[in-house]
Amino acid sequence: MEFDYFLSLISKIEDTQLGGFSSHQKMIPKERRLLKKIELESANPRKAAVLALFYPDENNLTNFLLIIRASYDGTHSSQISFPGGKYELTDRHLEFTALRETSEEVGINMAAISIKRQLTDTYIPPSNFLVSPFIGFTDSRPDFETNHEVEDLLEVKLTDLLNEDSVNTENLSTSYMKNIDVPCFNLNKKVVWGATAMMLSEIKDLIKANLH
């Protein structure tokens, strides 16, 4: 997708109703039970925010950024995700958290990023985080500079996300069950599943709802 065309969709995307659960459900294994609101409140999850960053490549085609997290002794070691992280008490709001963490992890000047809207919050049971995703863009491809938290970058073409052939099912072991069939995206020859896939599903539905 040409980046100019993507920008023409942005104002429509801002006003389009979010897919929420119906979008997330496409990427949730049938064995997983989503928490009800009262259960989520009693879990008292920690807050976090991530950024789905879109930008043009050298051919003016629309890309978005995913990262492969570095290996460490923790829940999300080596996982594929959007740049982002936990809310700090010094953060003014969750949008700032997404911008700050993106700047720290991949070296983008926060002032260069235009945030367009917030997506549906996504709960991550293993780490007890409630993650607020945001959609943003830069007018040109950033000069990425990763920190110690990032093993590698995945620059994904938006058309690959929109292509139905990218949706697949993999047999995986998760935090709640072993060897189950998990819906996922195959992007850049990588399997993207879990919370990141749920967020991508909502983004995909938002964009497809405005294509003409």
What tens digit of pLDDT does each residue of 128-144 get? 899 999 999 999 999 99
Residues of the chain below pLDDT 50: none
Q: Write down all domains in the chain, each with its CATH number in brackets.
A: 3-164+196-208 (3.90.79.10)
Strands (DSSP E) contained in the chain are 46-56, 62-69, 80-81, 84-86, 114-118, 122-124, 129-137, 150-157, 167-172, 180-187, 190-192
Closest of 55, 62, 24 to residue 199, by C-alpha: 24
Q: Are the CB atoms for 62 and 53 separated by under 8 Å?
A: no
Q: What is the C-alpha separation between 144 and 142, in angstroms, rounded?
A: 6
Q: What is the C-alpha separation between 74 and 176, in angstroms, rounded?
A: 17
pLDDT tens-place string over residues 17-33: 999 989 999 998 876 65
Average pLDDT, whole number, for the chain? 90
> What pLDDT, on the 0 to 100 scale, is given for residue 81?
96
Q: What is the C-alpha separation between 116 and 93, in angstroms, rounded?
A: 15
Q: Where are the alpha helices (DSSP H) in the chain?
A: 3-15, 20-25, 37-43, 94-106, 158-162, 194-208
Phi first, then psi: give them for residue 119, nearest 5 degrees: -100, -175
Chain-centre distance for alpha carbon 173: 21
> What pLDDT, on the 0 to 100 scale, is given for residue 175?
59
> What pLDDT, on the 0 to 100 scale, is given for residue 178?
76
How is residue 164 written in tokens?
């139905």
> What pLDDT, on the 0 to 100 scale, is given for residue 32?
64
> What pLDDT, on the 0 to 100 scale, is given for residue 37?
62
Phi first, then psi: give them for residue 65, nearest 5 degrees: -105, 130
Q: Are the CB atoms for 175 and 128 separated by under 8 Å?
A: no
Q: Are the CB atoms for 146 and 101 separated by under 8 Å?
A: no
- CA gyration radius for the chain? 16
Whole-prediction pTM = 0.91
